[in-house]
């Protein structure tokens, strides 16, 4: 048993150290220890505190696990009200906002601070002399609920501000959110314990924060982003919103890095477009951006109209979710026979486009969501992702609507639909007999990253296959002007263009060619690896599974797919027919040089690099013989980290992998 004095010092150190790691993880987004080490420190502290109850403190990180349930929430009056923002939809409304602000301030140009509009719920944290004393929800803006016990469970909420001379009192305003990954895990957990799933991260965050039992809240992955200040005593405000956010970051609060000072309506719209472009890559939901006049003195001059400030506006992104009706459920047959149920929808505007089809993924998903014809459903279309049905809106089902079942026979060829016991997808067993599979295989063959045959689209492939003009890819190269000109919507000019595109595609690379064959489990990266390793197609076709597994990153499953593919005489014939048709590649077209500073090295990219896109960095590494992989493992040699790196950086640090920035990468490659 340790002496109390030593224990007290150790406890104090552990508390400080753990909070420091919380800060590095949540505020800096740069953890420096592994989860396992963190857990070890945490357990040590718990044990010491248990042995020395007299040293307990409400500010200990161990107290972030929640406490006994409250009978109800007390109400809290906000000294400075928590107002809402007016919305702008469209550029004209943003221009009008900027005009009003310029007129109000009687200036020609105004500087704004641009921030994401987080899709969570607003809260206020009160710190007295730097110690967290209260946390409250927004409520009606004037009175909210006291959720201190719940907010104390968030590791991203500092229990003490990092400041030598903290203000006497400060209300910090921010948004409580759940990251999308965390949300998916939370719902998976809900599913496993047969509890109700949450509709979206915002609802989950709201439900979690409004728990009378803070132990429940402690188990939910809530996070905070700070974006403003309410009352402030014993310290002066900085001059601008962006300096205010810097100050909050210095205090140890998580402040989002996606913020920028911009001038004029043009600058605002540029920020909007950039953030919209990044929307899907962000780990959390953002429903727009917020523009705030940067100078706080100017904010005060502009003041408020009714319940919203004149100095700020929210510019909303197109909604990613919408309600509509399922008109029918059909299935699509993919290149490898995979059967995908698809909901045909009453047209609905979502994610910036009109959507008429949404995927239902697979049989299990249809069953889990219990989607039926005639149902009213929520549809989601985020970025370029295929629209999906996310849930059925309860209480709107027509009585007698039957449950949906996948067809037993392929709608395209009548072959049996088979689902292997360990697979989520059902497949048409027709193989190349099935016209749907043949069409998809041709579309894949012609796609941009494969043979890149411009002009060979869905409509054309449908006709070529249905009229039995083309059965396999090699026959594409036998097409002539006459055959093509006879097709629907095919003038002589487009026919000539297509023939030129076909001709051009004959000069390709081995990697593209392998990818174009559409071997199951062989994506672009694997195709490059195979091309690089074997150097020619004959060696690849002859390789047995052991030889295939000598290629880095190729395991037994992929090796088996490749071997099975070339074991089919038909596939070998396709390769030969293509070569006879004149498809070829020069040895120099090999994707990765055998010599170079990065030969044999595997790189992983994370975050945004200052002067290179991800594609450029990949090309640079590959041109030096290196390989770029998507995930960090013990086989990774280098992680190249830019701004806003993700969890890959933490993983790399955990595994002790060398981390490079862009400059170091360039230096390494010379």
- Residues marked active site are found at 117
CB of 384 to ligand IVH, least distance (A): 25
Residue 604 in the binding site for ligand IVH (CB under 6 A)? no
* Smaller CB separation from ligand IVH, 35 or 142: 142
Binding window for ligand IVH (CB under 6 A); candidates: 77-85, 348-356, 373-381, 480-488: 77-85
Q: Is 176 helix (H, G, I), strand (E, B) or coil?
A: strand
Residue 118 in the binding site for ligand IVH (CB under 6 A)? yes
Residue 228 in the binding site for ligand IVH (CB under 6 A)? yes
DSSP assignments along 354-373, one per residue:
EEEEEE--SHHHHHHHT--T
Distance CA 311, CA 308 (A): 9
Distance CA 448, CA 109 (A): 45
Residue 290 in the binding site for ligand IVH (CB under 6 A)? yes
* Smaller CB separation from ligand IVH, 251 or 445: 251
* Smaller CB separation from ligand IVH, 270 or 666: 270
215 neighbors 66 (Cβ within 8 angstroms): yes
| Nearest Cα residue to 325 out of 377, 366, 360 | 377
* Smaller CB separation from ligand IVH, 118 or 534: 118
Buried b / exposed e across 145-158, counting CB within 10 Å, b at 16+? Answer: bbbbbbbbbbbbbb
Build a one-symbol-per-residue string for 174-193: x at contacts with ligand IVH by CB under 6 A, - elsewhere: -x------------------
Distance CA 350, CA 360 (A): 17
Binding window for ligand IVH (CB under 6 A); candidates: 95-103, 207-215, 309-317, 591-599: 309-317
* Smaller CB separation from ligand IVH, 119 or 388: 119
Build a one-symbol-per-residue string for 495-514: x at contacts with ligand IVH by CB under 6 A, - elsewhere: --------------------
639 neighbors 626 (Cβ within 8 angstroms): no
Beta-sheet strands, E only, within 250-336 = 260-263, 286-293, 304-305, 308-309, 312-316, 321-333
377 neighbors 393 (Cβ within 8 angstroms): yes
Q: Which of 138, 152, 369, 651 binds ligand IVH (CB under 6 A)?
A: 138
Helix (H) or strand (E) holding 389: strand 388-392
Residue 83 in the binding site for ligand IVH (CB under 6 A)? yes
514 neighbors 537 (Cβ within 8 angstroms): yes
CB of 257 to ligand IVH, least distance (A): 13
Residue 212 in the binding site for ligand IVH (CB under 6 A)? no
Distance CA 390, CA 199 (A): 8
Total residues binding ligand IVH (CB under 6 A):
15
Q: Which of 26, 73, 227, 445 binds ligand IVH (CB under 6 A)?
A: 227
Q: Which of 19, 29, 49, 115 binds ligand IVH (CB under 6 A)?
A: 115
Helix spans in 568-630 (H):
569-580, 614-623
CB of 309 to ligand IVH, least distance (A): 5
Phi, psi of 36 (to 5 degrees): -65, -45
* Smaller CB separation from ligand IVH, 303 or 523: 303
Residue 244 in the binding site for ligand IVH (CB under 6 A)? no
Residue 312 in the binding site for ligand IVH (CB under 6 A)? yes
* Smaller CB separation from ligand IVH, 315 or 369: 315
Q: Is 383 helix (H, G, I), strand (E, B) or coil?
A: coil
CB of 245 to ligand IVH, least distance (A): 9
Binding window for ligand IVH (CB under 6 A); candidates: 78-86, 96-104, 128-136, 574-582: 78-86
HEC sequence for 135-159? EEECCCCCEEEECHHHHCCCCCCCC
* Smaller CB separation from ligand IVH, 299 or 415: 299
Q: Is 77 helix (H, G, I), strand (E, B) or coil?
A: strand
Distance CA 218, CA 67 (A): 9
Residue 242 in the binding site for ligand IVH (CB under 6 A)? no
Binding window for ligand IVH (CB under 6 A); candidates: 112-120, 458-466, 485-493, 559-567: 112-120
CB of 113 to ligand IVH, least distance (A): 9
CB of 307 to ligand IVH, least distance (A): 9
CB of 136 to ligand IVH, least distance (A): 13
* Smaller CB separation from ligand IVH, 97 or 118: 118
Distance CA 541, CA 562 (A): 8
109 neighbors 125 (Cβ within 8 angstroms): no
Q: Which of 122, 461, 543, 559 binds ligand IVH (CB under 6 A)?
A: 122
Distance CA 426, CA 300 (A): 62
| Nearest Cα residue to 275 out of 315, 225, 320, 319 | 315
Residue 143 in the binding site for ligand IVH (CB under 6 A)? no
Build a one-symbol-per-residue string for 37-76: x at contacts with ligand IVH by CB under 6 A, - elsewhere: ----------------------------------------
Using the Cα atoms of residue 250, residue 256, residue 261 and residue 264 in order, give the sign of their dihedral: negative
Paired sense of beta strands 308-309 and 304-305, if any:
antiparallel
Q: Which of 15, 64, 117, 369 binds ligand IVH (CB under 6 A)?
A: 117
What lies within 8 Å, CB to CB, of 59 at 6+ separation is: 15, 131, 159, 160
Residue 85 in the binding site for ligand IVH (CB under 6 A)? yes
Residue with CB nearest ligand IVH?
122
* Smaller CB separation from ligand IVH, 290 or 428: 290
Please report, as residue ranges, which positions from 406 to 425 form the binding site for ligand IVH (by CB under 6 A).
Answer: none
Distance CA 133, CA 131 (A): 6
Phi, psi of 642 (to 5 degrees): -110, -155
Residue 309 in the binding site for ligand IVH (CB under 6 A)? yes
CB of 287 to ligand IVH, least distance (A): 8
* Smaller CB separation from ligand IVH, 122 or 460: 122
CB of 203 to ligand IVH, least distance (A): 14
Using the Cα atoms of residue 272, residue 276, residue 281 and residue 287 in order, give the sign of their dihedral: positive
Build a one-symbol-per-residue string for 146-175: x at contacts with ligand IVH by CB under 6 A, - elsewhere: -----------------------------x
CB of 594 to ligand IVH, least distance (A): 51
Burial (CB count within 10 angstroms: exposed 0-12, middle 13-18, buried 19+), residue 211: buried
CB of 351 to ligand IVH, least distance (A): 20
296 neighbors 238 (Cβ within 8 angstroms): yes
Bridge partner residues of 308 (DSSP):
305
Q: At what angle do helices 614-623 and 662-669 cross, to 10 degrees?
A: 20
* Interface contacts to ligand IVH, rule CB under 6 A: 83-85, 115, 117-118, 122, 138, 175, 227-228, 290, 309, 312, 314
């Amino acid at each position: 048993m340790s002496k109390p004095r030593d224990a007290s010092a150790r406890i104090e150190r552990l508390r400080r150290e753990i909070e420091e790691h919380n800060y590095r993880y949540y505020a800096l987004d740069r953890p420096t220890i592994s989860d396992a080490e963190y857990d070890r420190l945490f357990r040590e502290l718990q044990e010491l505190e248990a042995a020395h109850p007299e040293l307990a403190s409400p500010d200990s990180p161990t107290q972030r696990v929640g406490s006994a349930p409250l009978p109800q929430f007390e109400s809290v009056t906000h000294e400075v009200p928590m107002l809402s923002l007016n919305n702008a939809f469209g550029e004209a409304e943003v221009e009008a906002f900027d005009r009003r602000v310029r007129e109000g301030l009687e200036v020609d140009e105004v500087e704004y601070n641009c921030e994401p509009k987080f899709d969570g719920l607003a809260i206020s944290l009160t710190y007295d002399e730097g110690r967290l004393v209260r946390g409250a929800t927004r409520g009606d803006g004037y009175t909210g609920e006291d959720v201190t016990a719940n907010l104390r469970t968030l590791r991203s909420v500092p229990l003490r501000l990092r400041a030598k001379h903290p203000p006497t009192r400060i209300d910090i305003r921010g948004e409580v959110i759940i990251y999308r990954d965390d949300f998916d895990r939370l719902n998976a957990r809900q599913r496993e314990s047969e509890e109700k799933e949450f509709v979206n991260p915002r609802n989950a965050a709201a439900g979690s924060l409004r728990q009378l039992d803070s132990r429940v809240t402690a188990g939910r992955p809530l996070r905070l982003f700070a974006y403003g200040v309410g009352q402030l005593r014993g310290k002066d405000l900085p001059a601008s919103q962006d300096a205010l956010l810097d100050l909050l970051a210095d205090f140890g609060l998580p402040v989002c890095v996606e913020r920028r000072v911009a001038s004029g309506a043009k600058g605002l719209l540029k920020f909007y477009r950039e953030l919209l472009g990044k929307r899907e890559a962000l780990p959390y939901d953002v429903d727009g951006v917020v523009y705030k006049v940067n100078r706080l003195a100017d904010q005060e001059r502009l003041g408020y109209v009714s319940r919203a400030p004149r100095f700020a506006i929210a510019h909303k992104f197109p909604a990613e979710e919408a309600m509509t009706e399922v008109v029918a459920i059909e299935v699509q047959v993919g290149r490898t026979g995979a059967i995908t149920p698809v909901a045909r929808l009453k047209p609905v505007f979502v994610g910036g486009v009109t959507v008429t089809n949404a995927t239902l993924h697979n049989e299990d998903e249809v069953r889990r969501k219990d989607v039926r014809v005639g149902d009213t459903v929520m549809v989601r279309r985020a970025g370029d992702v295929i629209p999906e049905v996310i849930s059925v809106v309860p209480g709107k089902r027509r009585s007698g609507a039957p449950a949906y079942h996948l067809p037993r026979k392929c709608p395209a060829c009548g072959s049996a639909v088979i689902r292997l016991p360990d697979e989520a997808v059902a497949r048409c067993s027709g193989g190349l007999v099935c016209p749907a599979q043949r069409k998809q295989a041709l579309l894949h063959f012609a796609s941009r990253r494969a043979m890149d045959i411009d002009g060979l689209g869905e409509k054309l492939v449908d006709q070529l296959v249905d009229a039995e003009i083309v059965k396999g890819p090699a026959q594409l190269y036998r097409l002539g002007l006459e055959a093509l000109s006879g097709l629907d919507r095919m003038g002589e000019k487009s026919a000539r263009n297509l023939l030129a595109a076909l001709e051009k595609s004959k000069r390709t690379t081995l990697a593209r060619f392998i990818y174009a064959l559409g071997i199951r489990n062989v994506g672009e990266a694997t195709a490059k690896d195979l091309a690089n390793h074997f150097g020619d197609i004959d060696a690849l076709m002859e390789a047995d599974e052991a030889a295939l597994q000598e290629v880095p990153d190729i395991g037994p499953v992929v090796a088996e797919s490749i071997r099975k593919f070339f074991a089919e005489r038909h596939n070998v014939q396709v390769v030969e027919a293509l070569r006879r048709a004149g498809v070829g590649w020069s040895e120099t077209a090999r994707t990765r040089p055998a010599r170079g500073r990065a030969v044999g090295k595997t790189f992983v990219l994370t975050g945004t690099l200052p002067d290179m896109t991800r594609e450029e960095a990949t090309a640079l590494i590959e041109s030096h013989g290196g390989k770029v992989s998507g995930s960090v493992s013990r086989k990774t040699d280098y992680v190249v980290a830019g701004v806003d790196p993700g969890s890959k950086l933490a993983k790399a640090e955990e595994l002790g992998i060398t981390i490079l920035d862009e400059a170091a990468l360039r230096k390494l490659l010379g």
